[in-house]
A and B are shown apart, each in its own frame.
Chain A
Amino acid sequence: AQTVTQSQPEMSVQEAETVTLSCTYDTSENNYYLFWYKQPPSRQMILVIRQEAYKQQNATENRFSVNFQKAAKSFSLKISDSQLGDTAMYFCAFGGATNKLIFGTGTLLAVQP
Protein backbone atom coordinates (compact mmCIF):
# COMPACT_ATOMS: atom_id res chain seq x y z
CA ALA A 1 0.00 0.00 0.00
CA GLN A 2 1.13 3.51 -0.74
CA THR A 3 2.04 5.85 2.10
CA VAL A 4 2.84 9.55 2.20
CA THR A 5 4.88 11.09 5.01
CA GLN A 6 5.22 14.75 5.90
CA SER A 7 7.64 14.94 8.80
CA GLN A 8 7.28 18.66 9.54
CA PRO A 9 4.00 19.35 11.38
CA GLU A 10 4.70 23.10 11.53
CA MET A 11 7.08 25.54 9.88
CA SER A 12 7.63 29.26 9.99
CA VAL A 13 9.25 31.61 7.48
CA GLN A 14 9.81 35.33 7.22
CA GLU A 15 8.04 37.24 4.49
CA ALA A 16 10.08 37.38 1.25
CA GLU A 17 12.26 34.42 2.24
CA THR A 18 12.33 30.89 0.86
CA VAL A 19 11.00 27.80 2.59
CA THR A 20 11.03 24.11 1.68
CA LEU A 21 8.40 21.62 2.80
CA SER A 22 9.34 17.94 2.81
CA CYS A 23 7.38 14.94 1.61
CA THR A 24 8.38 11.32 1.16
CA TYR A 25 6.27 8.49 -0.18
CA ASP A 26 6.40 4.78 -0.65
CA THR A 27 5.06 2.88 -3.63
CA SER A 28 5.87 -0.06 -5.87
CA GLU A 29 4.26 1.60 -8.89
CA ASN A 30 6.36 3.11 -11.62
CA ASN A 31 3.82 5.50 -13.12
CA TYR A 32 2.16 7.89 -10.72
CA TYR A 33 1.55 11.51 -9.92
CA LEU A 34 2.34 13.71 -6.97
CA PHE A 35 0.52 16.80 -5.83
CA TRP A 36 0.82 19.63 -3.36
CA TYR A 37 -2.45 21.07 -2.10
CA LYS A 38 -2.81 24.25 -0.07
CA GLN A 39 -5.52 24.71 2.55
CA PRO A 40 -5.76 28.30 3.82
CA PRO A 41 -7.84 29.24 6.87
CA SER A 42 -10.91 29.35 4.61
CA ARG A 43 -10.61 25.54 4.53
CA GLN A 44 -10.78 25.38 0.73
CA MET A 45 -8.41 22.82 -0.81
CA ILE A 46 -6.41 24.36 -3.67
CA LEU A 47 -4.03 22.55 -6.00
CA VAL A 48 -0.61 24.22 -5.93
CA ILE A 49 1.49 22.04 -8.20
CA ARG A 50 1.54 18.61 -9.86
CA GLN A 51 4.42 16.35 -10.90
CA GLU A 52 4.29 13.39 -13.26
CA ALA A 53 6.68 10.64 -12.18
CA TYR A 54 7.78 9.91 -15.73
CA LYS A 55 9.03 13.47 -16.16
CA GLN A 56 12.55 14.16 -14.96
CA GLN A 57 12.07 17.92 -15.07
CA ASN A 58 10.84 19.42 -11.84
CA ALA A 59 7.49 21.20 -12.04
CA THR A 60 7.28 24.93 -11.38
CA GLU A 61 4.33 27.29 -10.95
CA ASN A 62 5.43 30.88 -10.44
CA ARG A 63 6.94 31.05 -6.92
CA PHE A 64 6.30 27.36 -6.27
CA SER A 65 8.63 24.60 -7.42
CA VAL A 66 9.30 21.03 -6.50
CA ASN A 67 12.39 18.91 -6.04
CA PHE A 68 11.34 15.47 -7.25
CA GLN A 69 13.78 12.66 -6.50
CA LYS A 70 12.18 9.48 -7.84
CA ALA A 71 14.82 7.05 -6.61
CA ALA A 72 14.68 8.51 -3.13
CA LYS A 73 10.87 8.80 -3.28
CA SER A 74 11.08 12.39 -2.20
CA PHE A 75 8.89 15.29 -3.32
CA SER A 76 9.62 18.59 -1.60
CA LEU A 77 7.92 21.92 -2.24
CA LYS A 78 9.90 25.14 -2.37
CA ILE A 79 8.13 28.45 -1.92
CA SER A 80 10.19 31.45 -2.98
CA ASP A 81 9.56 35.06 -1.95
CA SER A 82 7.07 33.93 0.69
CA GLN A 83 3.97 36.07 1.07
CA LEU A 84 1.53 36.44 3.94
CA GLY A 85 -1.11 34.79 1.77
CA ASP A 86 0.99 31.63 1.67
CA THR A 87 0.08 30.98 5.30
CA ALA A 88 -1.82 27.70 5.13
CA MET A 89 -1.74 23.98 5.70
CA TYR A 90 0.06 22.20 2.88
CA PHE A 91 -0.70 18.60 1.95
CA CYS A 92 1.37 16.30 -0.19
CA ALA A 93 -0.64 13.67 -2.09
CA PHE A 94 0.07 10.58 -4.19
CA GLY A 95 -2.07 9.48 -7.15
CA GLY A 96 -1.36 6.04 -8.56
CA ALA A 97 -3.02 3.42 -10.71
CA THR A 98 -6.41 4.07 -9.16
CA ASN A 99 -8.02 7.49 -9.12
CA LYS A 100 -7.68 7.72 -5.36
CA LEU A 101 -5.33 10.17 -3.68
CA ILE A 102 -3.29 9.31 -0.62
CA PHE A 103 -2.58 12.37 1.52
CA GLY A 104 0.14 13.12 4.02
CA THR A 105 -0.71 14.54 7.42
CA GLY A 106 0.07 18.10 6.38
CA THR A 107 2.51 20.89 7.26
CA LEU A 108 1.19 24.08 8.78
CA LEU A 109 3.17 26.99 7.33
CA ALA A 110 3.14 30.39 8.99
CA VAL A 111 4.57 33.35 7.08
CA GLN A 112 5.71 36.02 9.50
CA PRO A 113 5.67 39.74 8.56
Chain B
Amino acid sequence: DAGITQSPRYKITETGRQVTLMCHQTWSHSYMFWYRQDLGHGLRLIYYSAAADITDKGEVPDGYVVSRSKTENFPLTLESATRSQTSVYFCAGTAGTASYNEQFFGPGTRLTVL
Protein backbone atom coordinates (compact mmCIF):
# COMPACT_ATOMS: atom_id res chain seq x y z
CA ASP B 1 0.00 0.00 0.00
CA ALA B 2 1.65 3.19 -1.19
CA GLY B 3 -0.84 5.38 0.63
CA ILE B 4 -2.03 6.92 -2.63
CA THR B 5 -5.41 6.26 -4.21
CA GLN B 6 -6.67 7.45 -7.55
CA SER B 7 -10.18 7.67 -8.92
CA PRO B 8 -11.63 6.76 -11.23
CA ARG B 9 -9.49 3.83 -12.38
CA TYR B 10 -10.98 4.03 -15.88
CA LYS B 11 -12.66 6.93 -17.62
CA ILE B 12 -14.05 7.43 -21.10
CA THR B 13 -14.97 10.93 -22.17
CA GLU B 14 -15.54 12.97 -25.29
CA THR B 15 -13.49 15.68 -26.88
CA GLY B 16 -14.16 19.08 -25.34
CA ARG B 17 -15.46 17.84 -22.01
CA GLN B 18 -13.91 18.75 -18.69
CA VAL B 19 -12.51 15.82 -16.73
CA THR B 20 -11.09 15.70 -13.22
CA LEU B 21 -8.88 12.90 -12.00
CA MET B 22 -8.66 12.56 -8.26
CA CYS B 23 -5.63 11.74 -6.15
CA HIS B 24 -5.78 11.21 -2.41
CA GLN B 25 -2.95 10.32 -0.05
CA THR B 26 -2.93 9.06 3.51
CA TRP B 27 0.82 9.07 4.24
CA SER B 28 1.39 12.83 4.63
CA HIS B 29 3.54 13.02 1.52
CA SER B 30 4.78 16.58 1.21
CA TYR B 31 5.50 16.45 -2.51
CA MET B 32 2.93 15.16 -4.98
CA PHE B 33 3.23 14.63 -8.73
CA TRP B 34 1.10 13.91 -11.78
CA TYR B 35 2.58 11.91 -14.65
CA ARG B 36 1.21 10.64 -17.89
CA GLN B 37 2.43 7.38 -19.40
CA ASP B 38 2.45 6.90 -23.15
CA LEU B 39 4.04 4.19 -25.24
CA GLY B 40 7.46 5.28 -26.39
CA HIS B 41 7.63 8.17 -23.92
CA GLY B 42 7.81 6.53 -20.52
CA LEU B 43 6.40 8.69 -17.74
CA ARG B 44 6.33 12.43 -18.24
CA LEU B 45 5.70 14.94 -15.49
CA ILE B 46 2.64 17.13 -15.91
CA TYR B 47 2.54 19.11 -12.65
CA TYR B 48 3.88 18.78 -9.15
CA SER B 49 3.27 20.30 -5.76
CA ALA B 50 5.71 20.88 -2.90
CA ALA B 51 2.98 21.61 -0.33
CA ALA B 52 -0.56 22.87 -0.04
CA ASP B 53 -1.15 25.87 -2.32
CA ILE B 54 2.26 25.43 -4.01
CA THR B 55 2.21 23.95 -7.50
CA ASP B 56 4.52 24.11 -10.49
CA LYS B 57 4.63 22.96 -14.08
CA GLY B 58 6.41 19.87 -15.26
CA GLU B 59 7.42 18.80 -18.73
CA VAL B 60 3.95 18.61 -20.37
CA PRO B 61 1.54 20.96 -18.53
CA ASP B 62 -0.46 22.34 -21.45
CA GLY B 63 -4.17 21.55 -21.26
CA TYR B 64 -4.05 20.58 -17.58
CA VAL B 65 -4.83 22.38 -14.34
CA VAL B 66 -4.04 21.29 -10.78
CA SER B 67 -4.86 22.52 -7.32
CA ARG B 68 -3.83 21.56 -3.82
CA SER B 69 -5.96 23.29 -1.26
CA LYS B 70 -5.44 20.39 1.18
CA THR B 71 -2.24 18.43 1.63
CA GLU B 72 -3.96 15.10 1.08
CA ASN B 73 -5.66 15.88 -2.24
CA PHE B 74 -4.12 16.75 -5.59
CA PRO B 75 -6.73 16.70 -8.37
CA LEU B 76 -5.80 17.00 -12.04
CA THR B 77 -8.29 18.67 -14.39
CA LEU B 78 -8.38 18.50 -18.15
CA GLU B 79 -10.25 21.69 -18.97
CA SER B 80 -11.25 20.66 -22.50
CA ALA B 81 -10.18 17.12 -23.24
CA THR B 82 -8.47 16.29 -26.52
CA ARG B 83 -7.70 12.93 -28.10
CA SER B 84 -4.00 13.50 -27.52
CA GLN B 85 -4.72 13.38 -23.79
CA THR B 86 -5.73 9.74 -24.02
CA SER B 87 -3.21 8.16 -21.68
CA VAL B 88 -2.60 6.47 -18.36
CA TYR B 89 -2.24 9.00 -15.55
CA PHE B 90 -0.28 8.34 -12.39
CA CYS B 91 -0.28 10.31 -9.19
CA ALA B 92 2.78 9.96 -6.96
CA GLY B 93 4.02 11.27 -3.65
CA THR B 94 7.18 11.46 -1.64
CA ALA B 95 7.51 12.00 2.06
CA GLY B 96 10.79 13.85 2.08
CA THR B 97 12.27 16.97 0.58
CA ALA B 98 15.37 15.36 -0.91
CA SER B 99 15.62 13.83 -4.35
CA TYR B 100 16.74 10.48 -2.98
CA ASN B 101 13.35 9.89 -1.47
CA GLU B 102 11.35 7.18 -3.14
CA GLN B 103 8.28 8.31 -5.00
CA PHE B 104 5.24 6.16 -4.22
CA PHE B 105 2.74 5.74 -7.00
CA GLY B 106 -0.99 5.33 -7.12
CA PRO B 107 -2.56 2.60 -9.26
CA GLY B 108 -3.13 4.86 -12.26
CA THR B 109 -6.17 6.07 -14.21
CA ARG B 110 -6.68 4.99 -17.80
CA LEU B 111 -8.33 7.87 -19.66
CA THR B 112 -9.76 7.54 -23.14
CA VAL B 113 -10.88 10.64 -25.01
CA LEU B 114 -13.13 9.88 -27.96
Contact = CB atoms under 8 A, between A and B. Distances in A.
Interface of A: 4, 6, 32-33, 35, 43-45, 47, 50, 52, 91, 95-101, 103-106
A101 B103 contact: yes
A4 B108 CA distance: 22
Interface of B: 31, 33, 35, 40-45, 48, 50, 58, 88, 90, 92, 94, 97-103, 105, 107-108
12 contacts: A35-B102, A43-B107, A44-B105, A44-B108, A91-B43, A96-B99, A99-B99, A99-B101, A100-B45, A100-B58, A103-B42, A104-B42
A60 B43 CA distance: 24
Contacts, number: 52
A43 B99 contact: no
Contacts of B44: 103
Contacts of B33: 100-101
Nearest to B40: A105
